[in-house]
A and B are shown apart, each in its own frame.
Chain A
Amino acid sequence: MTKSAADLAAAVRDGRRTIRDVAEETLGAIEHREGEVHAFLHLDPAEVRARADALDAGARAGAERGPLFGVPVALKDNLTTRDAPTTCGSRILEGYRAPYDAFVVERLREAGALLVGKTNLDEFAMGSSTERSAYGPTRNPLDATRVPGGSSGGSAAAVAALFVPLSLGSDTGGSIRQPAAFCGIVGMKPTYGRVSRRGLVAFASSLDQIGVFARNVRDAARLLEAIAGPDPSDATCLAEPPEPYERLLPANPLDALRGLRVGLPVETFPETLDARMGKAVRNAGAVFEKNGARLVEVRLPLTRYGIPTYCLIAFCEASANLARYDGVRYGPRGEGGTVDEMMSATRGALFGPEVKRRILLGTFALSEGYAEAYYGQAQRVRTRIRREYADAFERCDVLLTPATPGLPFPLGARSDPVSMYLEDLFTVGPSLAGLPALSLPCAQEAGSKLRAACQLIAPLRHDARLLAAAAGIEAALGPNLPAY
C-alpha cells in the first residue's frame, strides 16, 4: 500500500477503485512481510474483506464518501473495539473483548475508514521499543535487526512497512513521536485533551493522548481532523470544536515558513548528544531559515529533570490505573483462597516486569509519608516546566528539537530500565506541558534505510500551526533527505 491516504480516498471517491480492491492490496502487503515485522496482534483477513464489502455496498447505496472513506487504518491494541480483542500487549487481558468501541473507533467507523487490525505495543504502553509486549517484539521495517521504538511500535511499523497509510497510537511520554522517528514516518501527539480518550485503556491519565501516524503531514492532518473531540464522556477533553486541520494547510506548504519564529532550546542540544543527530536537526533549522523562518535561541533549563518528573507522575498514575486488573472483571484469573490472594496471584503471574516495576515505584511514591515528597514534588516541578515552555513561546511560534537521542537501537540493547527511560529525553517535556508535538524525518543514513527525526512543538491548542510548520519543513527538505 504505497499510496497516500489522500490519493486512496480520491481513487475510491471517483470510483476508480473498490474498497475490496484496497483491502486485497493491504492484505497482500501484510501477508508478504508481517512474518518478519510482527506489527499486528490481531488481524482477521476475512473480517477485513467483509468490512470492505460492506463499505462498497454502502457506497453503491449512496453513502457519503468523505476524506477517509475506504482508507485502511490500523489501531493500537489499547484502543477498545467491539469486534476484535483488546489486550494492551498483556497476558492479563488475553482474549479480552471490550463491550464498547473507543470514541476514535466510532469516529473512524462513521467516516467509513477500513479498520484493518490491532497493532503491537509495549505492555500497557510502557516502553520505548515494543520489546515489552507479552506477545513478542515488533521489528523495524527499515532494518529488522532494530527496534521500531515504542510503545506504539506496531502502529508505526504498519505504516512504515507500507501495510497501511494511517494508524492510531497513544502517546504518554513519546510513545507516538519516538516510534515514528525510529520508523522514518510522521507521528503527532495533539494537545492534551484534543482527542477523547474514552476507550483508550488508561496508563497515566494526566499525560495520555491519542494521536496519529502517517507517511506525510497532510495525511496526518486528515486523520487528526477525523478523530478530534469534543466528547462529554472524557472530562479532560477540550470543549471547543477542532479546526479543519487539513484545509488549514497552505496550498503552497512553504508559505507557512515565511516569518515563522523557530525556537532552538539550548538544552535540547547537550554536549552529550550524538554529533550526527545534532547536525541533522540544526540542518533542519538552517532549511527553515533558508525558507524565510527566523531562528531564535531559547532556554528550557529544566529539560534534564524531564525524565525523573515524568517517571514519578506516570508511574504513580499507572499504579492507580492498573489497580483495576484484579482478575475479577476481565482477563484470566489466578488461584487464591481469599480475594486478596487471588488478586495478588493474578497480577504477579500475568503482569510483565516493566509493568511491575512501575506499579511498585508508583505505589511507593504515593504511599503515606512519601506522596508529597515524590508525586507532589514532581507535579510542582511540572508546573515550572509548563511555565518554561510558556516563556519560550513568548519568543517563538514553534520549537525545534531532536526527536530521539540517536538512531533505532538493536533489539536487546536496552536491558537496563533507566537506559530505556532515557530514550524519551526529548519527548517527555511536551507531554508534561500538554503541548502538541510532532516528529518527522530530517536526515537519511548513508548505506541504510534508517532516518533521523526532528521534533516540532507548538503552544497549547496550536495543533494547526504545528501541522502547517511541519508540512512546510517537509516540503522544504524534499524527498531526498540530507545525509545523516
Chain B
Amino acid sequence: MKPEEFDALCRLSRLDLSQEERERLRGEFDSILKYVEALRAVPTEGVEPTAMGGTAAGGTAQVHGEARPLRADEPGGSLPRAEALRASARQDGIFFDVPRVGSA
C-alpha cells in the first residue's frame, strides 16, 4: 500500500500515529493482507454468506442456525444519567463535553 493511501486509512480509522509507527504498521499491514488474500482462491460462487444475529424473518444463514426473534419493543429501565456519565473524562452532569465538531 502506498504511504498516502495508508495515511488515509489511518485517518479513516481515527488513529493518529507517529511517522515511525506508521512505517512499521504499513509494512505489517502489507504482509497480513498478503496472507489473508489466499482466501480469494476458494470457490464461493452461489454460496450464501454467514450472518450473525437474526430477525423474526430469519432467512440468512446464522452462526448457530437459529433465527432469533427480536424481543418485544417495550419500554424498560435505563441507566440513571449520572451513572452513564460517570466514566467520562469530561462531562458537565448533563452532557458529555467534547471539543468542536468539524473544522472551523
Between A and B, 30 residue pairs with Cβ closer than 8 Å are A96-B87, A99-B86, A192-B64, A206-B63, A235-B68, A236-B68, A302-B42, A308-B36, A308-B39, A311-B32, A311-B36, A312-B36, A330-B87, A336-B99, A337-B99, A339-B99, A347-B16, A353-B24, A359-B15, A361-B36, A363-B9, A363-B13, A367-B9, A367-B12, A377-B44, A380-B50, A381-B39, A383-B44, A386-B50, A421-B35
B-side interface mostly? loop
Interface residues on A, range: 35 or more
- Give min CB distance, B91 to chain A, whole Å: 9
Any A CB within 8 A of the CB of B38: yes
Taking A193-B64, A311-B36 as contacts, is the C-beta distance between A384 and B44 under 8 angstroms?
yes
Max chain A C-beta neighbours (<10 A), residue from B29, B32, B40: B32
Within the assembled complex, what's the spacing in Å between the Cα atoms of A382 and B53? 15
- Residues in chain B within 8 A of chain A (CB atoms): 9-17, 21, 24-25, 28-29, 31-33, 35-40, 42, 44, 47-54, 61, 63-66, 68, 70-71, 79, 83-84, 86-90, 96, 98-103
Taking A235-B70, A308-B36 as contacts, is the C-beta distance between A192 and B15 under 8 angstroms?
no
Any B CB within 8 A of the CB of A379: yes
A379 x B50 contact (CB < 8 A) = yes
Please report which residues of chain A, range 397-412, place their CB below 8 angstroms from some CB of chain B when the two chains form the complex.
Answer: none
Taking A235-B68, A383-B61, A418-B31 as contacts, is the C-beta distance between A308 and B13 under 8 angstroms?
no
Any B CB within 8 A of the CB of A331: yes
Taking A193-B64, A205-B52 as contacts, is the C-beta distance between A348 and B17 under 8 angstroms?
yes
B25 x A383 contact (CB < 8 A) = no
Chain B residue nearest in CB terms to A96: B87
Within the assembled complex, what's the spacing in Å between the Cα atoms of A328 and B87? 9
A235 x B54 contact (CB < 8 A) = yes
B66 x A239 contact (CB < 8 A) = yes
Within the assembled complex, what's the spacing in Å between the Cα atoms of A319 and B12? 11
CB-defined contacts of A106 to chain B, threshold 8 Å: none
Within the assembled complex, what's the spacing in Å between the Cα atoms of A374 and B37? 8
CB-defined contacts of B35 to chain A, threshold 8 Å: 308, 311, 418, 421
Any B CB within 8 A of the CB of A238: yes
Any B CB within 8 A of the CB of A378: yes
Please report which residues of chain A, range 172-189, place their CB below 8 angstroms from some CB of chain B when the two chains form the complex.
Answer: none
Taking A330-B87, A343-B14, A345-B16 as contacts, is the C-beta distance between A193 and B96 under 8 angstroms?
no
Within the assembled complex, what's the spacing in Å between the Cα atoms of A237 and B64? 10
- Give min CB distance, A215 to chain B, whole Å: 29
Any B CB within 8 A of the CB of A196: no
CB-defined contacts of B40 to chain A, threshold 8 Å: 373, 377
Any B CB within 8 A of the CB of A66: no
A360 x B25 contact (CB < 8 A) = yes
B79 x A100 contact (CB < 8 A) = yes
A380 x B44 contact (CB < 8 A) = yes
A360 x B63 contact (CB < 8 A) = no
CB-defined contacts of B29 to chain A, threshold 8 Å: 357, 360-361, 364
Within the assembled complex, what's the spacing in Å between the Cα atoms of A467 and B24? 44
Chain B residue nearest in CB terms to A386: B50
A305 x B39 contact (CB < 8 A) = yes
Any B CB within 8 A of the CB of A417: yes
B47 x A384 contact (CB < 8 A) = yes
Contact indicator per residue, chain A 329-372, by CB within 8 Å of chain B (1) or not (0): 11111101111111111011101010011011101110100000
- Give min CB distance, B30 to chain A, whole Å: 10
Chain A residue nearest in CB terms to B6: A360
Chain A residue nearest in CB terms to B39: A308
